[in-house]
């Protein structure tokens, strides 16, 4: 049962991102490089967050402090990633042979966001997946028996959200749309802070909130790249 739980949770969290990678990124080496670079930026943000948590000794036992600091640092590094990609955009465009600059900007945002999300989901779930293979399972004496499932579902939401956030964030900086920038930061703080309720096993509230934000953010990112109801219908009907 533990092995089945491991693979089930792993596929739930990383199945859709893996499909996104396989169909939209794997065929292009430039996109793979950008995805890896975005993952590196997230890792550096995590390192800096850890250093700040270690330095601010009085607040080490305050989980909310570390969480908020980490979110804000991640968004700062998302901005640094944006600046880096914009600096190299002309060269990347020539190598990738892209003719429409607007489309290429959205592609850069999408790929970097997916890289941000995958590494974030991996770090949040890898230890939990390691525990899921045994020698025991959750729900005996203490702990919820759906803890692994909830963790995998939350990781999937965060991966998708990072992808959507980057699309919105990059476009907002280009257009100087501070409302969208604020939305990205506030919604990131909201989804991250709501997970603190998991310690009290308010899993339903946490997941519902996370996926409502995911749906809203996905719709907003779709609108940002020029999508509308008509184009969505054409996509669904393969026209």
Q: What is the pLDDT of residue 95?
A: 61
User: For 191-222, what is each residue's pLDDT tens digit?
Assistant: 999 998 887 878 889 999 999 999 999 999 99
Task: Give CA–CA dist 220/210, Å, rounded.
Answer: 15
Torsion of CA 53, 80, 104, 98, to 10 degrees: -120
What is the residue range of 86's domain?
Answer: 1-237
Regions in the chain scoring below 70 on pLDDT: 1, 90-103, 134-145, 235, 238-239
Q: What is the pLDDT of residue 146?
A: 80
Task: Give CA–CA dist 122/156, Å, rounded.
Answer: 10
Total domains in the chain come to 1
Query: Is there a contact between 169 and 180 (Cβ–Cβ < 8 Å)?
Result: yes
Q: What is the pTM of this model?
A: 0.89
């Amino acid at each position: 049962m533990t092995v089945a739980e491991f693979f089930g949770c792993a596929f739930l969290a990383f199945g859709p991102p893996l499909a996104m990678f396989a169909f939209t990124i794997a065929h292009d080496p430039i996109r793979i490089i950008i995805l890896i670079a975005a993952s590196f930026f997230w890792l550096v943000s995590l390192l800096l967050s850890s250093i700040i948590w270690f330095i601010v000794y009085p607040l080490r036992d305050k989980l909310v402090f570390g969480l908020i600091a980490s979110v804000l640092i991640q968004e700062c590094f998302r901005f640094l990633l944006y600046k880096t990609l914009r600096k190299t955009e002309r060269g990347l465009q020539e190598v990738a042979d892209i003719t429409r600059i607007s489309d290429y900007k959205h592609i850069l945002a999408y790929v970097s966001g997916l890289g941000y999300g995958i590494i974030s989901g991996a770090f949040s779930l890898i230890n939990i997946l390691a525990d899921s293979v045994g020698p025991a399972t959750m729900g005996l004496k203490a702990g919820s028996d759906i803890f692994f499932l909830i963790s995998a579902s939350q990781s999937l939401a965060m991966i998708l959200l990072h992808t959507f956030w980057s699309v919105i964030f990059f476009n907002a900086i280009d257009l100087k749309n501070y409302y969208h920038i604020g939305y990205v930061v506030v919604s990131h703080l909201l989804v991250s802070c709501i997970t603190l309720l998991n310690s009290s096993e308010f899993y339903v509230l946490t997941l519902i909130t996370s996926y409502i934000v995911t749906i809203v953010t996905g719709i907003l990112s779709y609108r940002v790249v020029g999508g509308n109801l008509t184009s969505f219908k054409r996509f669904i009907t393969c026209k």
